[in-house]
Homo-oligomer: A and B are copies of this chain.
Amino acid sequence: MLNYIFNPKTIAFIGASEEPKTVGSGIALNLLQSKKKIFFVNIKSKKIFKRKTYKSILDIKEKVDLAIIAVPCAVVNKVATECALKKVKGVIVISAGFSENNNKERENELKEILKDIPLVGPNCLGILNTKNNLNASFAPFIPKKGNIAFLSQSGAIIDSVIDIARTENYGFSKIVSFGNEAGLDLSDYLDYLSKDKETKVIAIYIEGIKDGRKFLEVASKVSKIKPIIVLKSGKTELGKSAALTHTGSLAGDSKIYSSVFKQAGVIEVDSIEELLLTAKTFSFNEPCLNGVGIVTNGGGFGVLAVDYFDALKIKVPKLNEGKNPFDVLGDALADRYEIVMEAMLRQKDIHCLLVIQGLQIMTEPEKTARIIVKLQKKYGKPIIASFVGGESFKKAVSIVEKNKIVNITEIKKAVKVIRYLTYEK
């Protein structure tokens, strides 16, 4: 039933406008980029971006699959009534001014009007589907295609996330700003995405969950099929009251949330950056068992890595033929990395590698990068690269990343991501 939201053949946009830098023109221009049949509706204009414009959705003769509503909140329900009469198959209400603004009554009325028609929002940015180039939102652009689905209670975070991802080599399948969840809720999207062929990983930003019981049930099932990674804000007392003002969410007790996530097999992270890095890592890798090998050309990096791993209860099994972390020393050429990496990848209790390289006299970053790529393909175990530096490692980083190996300069973050990638039997 969500198919009409993500794959509509015809779309009516009610509240279209030509005025620059408004939601009305933003969405209108975004929609025109898709190859769908688009109808603009605006009570005042005759033409918008040179296209015929309708006074009401009811004036459109063809069938309409998806209606997008971005009109002042006072008239949303009137417009929604017309959408129901038109028998649209899905509705996205962008407009704010509902429960998040203490107007629960208006939100209930909206639900009543639409009955069984799937509803995204209100108070949201909209949705994006990279597969069919559909940007039914006011996000500034469509991100690269990829296998990460992103669900967010905050529209602003979606904008930032796609901007951060712009120069990265991972991409998104579908993005949903779900707003107040008057109709469809987080669990409905999870259920839909679990069957979505384009989606391998699901990343979520939330401030609160409406129906905890439903979430626990659905997420438990979905997490067995696809990794779910969540960033939950509104954890502290101050954060909770900020969340209430922002999306009207009852953020609740963070310990209860964490235990629900754990029970449901959902991975909880604690920053936007971690959310993206972890999603990216799952986008490129399969989960692995507990046991990591560390190769480094700087002893200090090894000490730091082991500290972080130990604190997160990740095993660092002794290498049969040497130490772990294995310090190949500052004068190591790439071949020394290769020998140690291969010995580690062959060992049964090492399921994942962290390969750290700082810039030292003999360092060969690009060669090392190619060895990482080669050995990852040969052994199939996940490898996380950590080239610790800047300019000098740009080429090496681009080599591994092009081959779907994640580079994380910050060792602490690399370790955390490996922790998230690890599952227990």
Known: A298-B156, A361-B21. Is A306-B411 also a contact (CB below 8 A)? no
Partner of A303, one of B167, B246, B325, B390: B246
- B233 & A303 in contact (Cβ 8 Å cutoff): yes
- A303 & B207 in contact (Cβ 8 Å cutoff): yes
A392 / chain B contacts, CB cutoff of 8 Å: 140, 163, 166
- A310 & B271 in contact (Cβ 8 Å cutoff): no
Partner of A160, one of B167, B270, B388: B388
Known: A271-B411, A307-B236, A390-B166. Is A157-B361 also a contact (CB below 8 A)? no
A243 interfacial by beta-carbon distance below 8 Å: yes
- A238 & B411 in contact (Cβ 8 Å cutoff): no
- B247 & A299 in contact (Cβ 8 Å cutoff): yes
A271 / chain B contacts, CB cutoff of 8 Å: 304, 410-412
- B391 & A300 in contact (Cβ 8 Å cutoff): no
Per the bound structure, the CA–CA distance linking A394 and B401 in Å amounts to 22
Partner of A238, one of B239, B273, B316: B316
Within the complex, the shortest CB–CB distance from A25 to chain B, in Å, comes to 9
Interface size on A, residues (CB 8 A): 70
A409 / chain B contacts, CB cutoff of 8 Å: 164, 273
Per the bound structure, the CA–CA distance linking A360 and B238 in Å amounts to 25
A247 / chain B contacts, CB cutoff of 8 Å: 299-300
Per the bound structure, the CA–CA distance linking A167 and B412 in Å amounts to 22
A233 / chain B contacts, CB cutoff of 8 Å: 300, 303-304, 307
A338 interfacial by beta-carbon distance below 8 Å: no
Per the bound structure, the CA–CA distance linking A311 and B325 in Å amounts to 33
A160 / chain B contacts, CB cutoff of 8 Å: 298, 301, 358-359, 388-389
Known: A389-B164, A411-B272. Is A301-B156 also a contact (CB below 8 A)? yes
Known: A247-B299, A299-B245, A307-B236. Is A361-B163 also a contact (CB below 8 A)? no
- A140 & B303 in contact (Cβ 8 Å cutoff): no
Partner of A26, one of B152, B155, B303, B361: B361
Which chain A residues numbered 378 to 425 have a C-beta less than 8 Å away from chain B? Answer: 388-393, 409-412
**CB-nearest residue of chain B relative to A388?**
B160
Within the complex, the shortest CB–CB distance from A95 to chain B, in Å, comes to 13
A39 interfacial by beta-carbon distance below 8 Å: no
Within the complex, the shortest CB–CB distance from A118 to chain B, in Å, comes to 24
Partner of A300, one of B22, B153, B360, B388: B153
A297 interfacial by beta-carbon distance below 8 Å: yes
Per the bound structure, the CA–CA distance linking A305 and B421 in Å amounts to 26
Per the bound structure, the CA–CA distance linking A272 and B388 in Å amounts to 9
Quick one: CB contact mask for A128-142 with B, threshold 8 Å, 1 for yes? 000000000010100
Per the bound structure, the CA–CA distance linking A239 and B299 in Å amounts to 11
- B300 & A163 in contact (Cβ 8 Å cutoff): no
- A156 & B311 in contact (Cβ 8 Å cutoff): no
Q: Which of A138, A155, A272, A304 has the most CB of B within 10 A?
A: A304
A112 interfacial by beta-carbon distance below 8 Å: no
Known: A156-B297, A156-B300. Is A235-B163 also a contact (CB below 8 A)? no
A297 / chain B contacts, CB cutoff of 8 Å: 156
Partner of A165, one of B156, B300, B390: B390
A77 interfacial by beta-carbon distance below 8 Å: no
Per the bound structure, the CA–CA distance linking A245 and B298 in Å amounts to 12
A319 interfacial by beta-carbon distance below 8 Å: no
Per the bound structure, the CA–CA distance linking A344 and B181 in Å amounts to 34
Within the complex, the shortest CB–CB distance from A203 to chain B, in Å, comes to 14
A306 / chain B contacts, CB cutoff of 8 Å: 236, 238-239, 242
- A361 & B22 in contact (Cβ 8 Å cutoff): yes
Q: Known pairs A163-B390, A235-B311, A238-B307. 10 more at Cβ < 8 A?
A: A22-B361, A156-B301, A159-B358, A160-B388, A236-B306, A236-B310, A239-B310, A242-B302, A270-B412, A273-B409
* Between-chain CB contacts (< 8 Å), 9 pairs: A157-B301, A157-B358, A159-B389, A163-B359, A164-B409, A207-B303, A236-B311, A243-B303, A272-B304
